[in-house]
Structures are given as structure tokens and as C-alpha cells.
Amino acid sequence: MSNKNYAPLTEESAITLAKELAYFTAEEHVTCEEIGDGNLNLVFRIKGFERSIIIKQALPYAKVVGESWPLSLKRAEIESHALRIQGQYVPHLVPKVFHEDHDLAVTIMEDLSHLTIARKGLIDGEDYPLLSTHIGTFLAHTLFFTSDFGLHASKKRELDSQFCNPDLCDITEGLVFTDPFGPYETNNFEPALQEDVEQIWNNVSLKERVAQLKYSFLTHKEALLHGDLHTGSIFASETETKVIDPEFACFGPIGFDIGQFFANLLLQAISREEERQAVLFTHIETTWNVFSDTFSALWHQHSVDAYTTLDTWRIAVLANIFREAVGFAGCEIIRRTIGLAHVADLDGIEDETRRIHAKKQALKLGTALLLHDVNTVDAQFYDRIFKTIK
């Protein structure tokens, strides 16, 4: 490892670094607060007289159930590189990167503290009317322009080689695709769910579908993924949306990012009473509609592959993306319910009876998504899926 000057920053040394880099003058009174959750990375917010910045630093390990799991510091470089690429296509939807230091595994970026993390806002009852339009746009641009439809194959191969991210892909492969589907130690669920969990573990068709999806994630290097597009990686307000935290970025199947986003909206829907779910279903439909319309428009205007003149091919590509997105959403819902990393949407339901009921619904919905044979994006699809959780 080449990070010879690496040491984890403290609130004091973060200020020193920010001043050395001239974000603040030497005399300026600045405050610094570590605002990350501290499991994988440190996040410092440094505020001076006129401006504030964020310094995110990777730690060389992840704290997982009390133990340390070594993790390459290269993911800081992956994260800042991904932010810069996304910034070329959708500058209004990602934080600006000001500086990166690979030795220190540091990215210095725009402070987005005026926005709220979407998961938290949704839990608190916010609607974010533009969230799905913005995320559909983010997905279409970042995924189209890094795929063979929007980027010459030789350039795409070169880009792919810059996103070799084995440690973080290993986390996804284990925690999303393997462990929740068998009796692995990393799983974490209430005893009241035992029977529902065993039904999943004993369902051979479901496991075969998960195996296909895992194999697609491993082998199908379609486009540069964000890789961790849950609602905790999105800052939102009534008018703005910013996608953060692409440290899991790697080449993979386009449906993966879309499916993770769908799943986290569905997990939020499950946590709510029925009257307040519709807005989230609408967000899912809008995300897909904006994604597919924008992806199609980019295909017509900016495609680089000879076969993109065939419109039937575009339709087939989009149908496959949708089918995989639905399956990936199923994996994500199940792993967020019984795997290692849960979501506050469900775990935060204080009443135990309600919480267990919601988690059982989540497992039912995840199963339905994995077993659903979606050949086309027909209007009844949403109805049928959403009825599963009613």
C-alpha cells in the first residue's frame, strides 16, 4: 500500500489540513465537527467565517459487529473519481469535489448541510416532490454515458480498469447476494422472523434467481455503478437532490443502482400506514419513467455503437434493465431486513408487533420481486407488486 503518510485525522488536524490548503486563512476562527457515523469513514465539517467544507477520510478498516474488517484505502480514490465522473454528466446532482489526497485517503467537497439525508426526511414525513425526477435523471446520464451505448468500447475498458474495487464489491457480494439467503453468521434478525427466514432459505427457485442476479453483478460490466444508491446516500430538499458516497462504485449491471433505490423506497413504504404509501409508489414509477425516457433520448442523440440504430434493441435493453432492477430490489429488501446492515425505516418502528409485521411484509415483498416474471413493463406490474404489501 502506498499510503505512507496516512494517519486518521482528528478535528484539530482536519483544521490544520484545511488551512494548509488555503480554504481558510491562518488566523481565521474555524470550528470542526466529525459528523460521520464512524463505521467506515470519518466525515468532518469545517466552518469558517464565510465558507464551510467537508473532509471525508477513509479508515483502513470497517467496524463490523465489534470486529475490524480490513478495507483498502483506495476506495477514497474510487469515491472522488466517481464523483468527478458523475459531475461531468449531472453536475447539479452531486457535490462538487474541491480536492483529493490519495495518501491521506481524503476527499474535500462541497458542504451540503443545508439539505437532509433523504432516508431521515422520508421517515420524518417529507415527500421530496422532485426526488424521483432527479434520481431518474442521475441514473440515465451516469449509466448511459459509461456504458457501451454512450462510450466507445476501448474507452470503457480503460475506465473499467480504473474502478477495480475488490474490497467493497466483496461486501456487496457477501452481504447483498450470499449471506441473507442462507444460515450465515453475519445475519441479524428477530427470533419472531425465524419461520419466514427459513422459508426463504428453503426456496430453491428464489435462490436460483438470486444466484443469477449475483452472477450478473459479478460478470455483467455494463456501466459504472454508484454501487450503494440507498436513500441514506441521497441529500434532498423540496428543490434539490444530491447523490453522495459512491465508494462502492464499480462496473456492473445497470439495474443494480435502480433496484437498490426502488428497494429503499419500498422499505419506507412498508414502514408507513397505507394512506401514506402512494407517494412512494409514484416515486418508483416516476424514477423508472424518467430513467427510461432520458436513457432513450440519450440513446437516440449520443449513441456510439452501430447497433443502436435498431430501436427494437433499445426496447430489449430497457426491458432487461427493468427485469434485473426488480430482482436486485428483491435482494436489497431481504438483506436490509435480515442481513447485517438494516435500515432505520424498519428498525425504527418502536412498537414490536408493528415492527415484526412490517418486516414480515418486507420478506414477502422481497420474495415476490425475486420470483416475479417481469417480461415487460406493463401497467399492471406496479399494481400487482404493491398489492403484495397491502
Select the residue interacting with ligand ADP from 11, 34, 111, 240 (CB under 6 A): 111
> Is there a binding annotation on residue 41?
yes
Residue 187 assigned to a binding site: no
Residue 164: what residue type?
Answer: C
Q: Does 113 participate in binding ligand ADP (rule CB under 6 A)?
A: yes
Report whether 19 belongs to an annotated binding site.
no
Please tell me what DSSP assigns to residue 163.
Answer: T
For position 345 contacting ligand ADP by CB under 6 A, the verdict is no
User: Residues 245, 324, 332, 345: which binds Mg ion (CB under 5 A)?
Assistant: 245
When asked if residue 43 is in the footprint of ligand ADP (CB under 6 A), the reply is yes
Check residue 55 and report its DSSP letter: E
| Footprint of ligand ADP on 191-250 (CB under 6 A) | 233, 244-245, 247
Whose CA is closest to 76, among 224, 248, 223? 248
Crossing angle between the packed helical segments 278-302 and 131-145, to the nearest 10 degrees: 30
**CB 126 within 8 Å of CB 283:** no
Stretch that binds ligand ADP, among 40-48, 62-70, 178-186, 324-332 (CB under 6 A): 40-48
Nearby residues of 299 by Cβ (< 8 Å), 6 or more positions away: 144, 149, 150, 308, 314
Residue in the block written with cell 421530496? 128
Q: Which is nearer to Mg ion, 174 or 323 (CB)?
A: 174
39 is in an annotated binding site: no
Q: Does 40 help bind ligand ADP (rule: CB under 6 A)?
A: yes
What would the DSSP string read from start to end of 17-53? Answer: HHHHTTSS-TT---EEEE-S-SSSEEEEEEE-SS-EE
Quick check: 77 binds ligand ADP (CB under 6 A)?
A: no
54 part of the interface to ligand ADP, by CB under 6 A: yes
- Count of residues engaged in binding ligand ADP, rule: CB under 6 A: 19
Distance from C-alpha of 121 to C-alpha of 186, rounded to nearest angstrom: 29
- Which one of ligand ADP, Mg ion, none interacts with residue 318, CB within 5 to 8 A by kind? none
Give the one entry of ligand ADP, Mg ion, none that residue 34 binds, where binding means its C-beta sits below a cut-off of 5 to 8 angstroms depending on kind: Mg ion
Residue from 17, 171, 37 nearest 100 by CA: 17
Site track for Mg ion across 17-56, x = CB under 5 A = -----------------x----------------------
Answer with the entry of ligand ADP, Mg ion, none that 87 interacts with (C-beta below 5 to 8 A by kind).
none
Going by their DSSP bridges, the two strands 234-236 and 106-110 should be labelled as unpaired
Q: How far is the CB of 335 from ligand ADP (least distance, A)?
A: 17
How deeply is 286 buried, as exposed, middle or buried, from its count of CB atoms within 10 A (0-12, 13-18, 19+)? Answer: middle
Q: Is the dihedral of CA 144, 145, 146, 147 positive or negative?
A: positive
Helix (H) or strand (E) holding 243: strand 241-243
Where in 312-341 is the site for ligand ADP (CB under 6 A)? Answer: none
Q: Which of 173, 131, 150, 292 is nearest to 223 (CA)?
A: 150
Say whether residue 55 binds ligand ADP (CB under 6 A): no
Tell me the per-residue interface mask from 91 to 110 with ligand ADP, x by CB under 6 A, - otherwise. Answer: ----x-------------xx
Note whether 127 binds Mg ion by CB under 5 A. no
If one counts every other C-beta atom within 10 angstroms of the C-beta of residue 229, the result is: 27
Applying CB under 6 A, the residues found at the interface with ligand ADP are 35-37, 40-41, 43, 54, 56, 95, 109-113, 117, 233, 244-245, 247
- Binding residue numbers for ATP: 41, 56, 110-112, 245-247
- Binding residue numbers for substrate: 228, 335
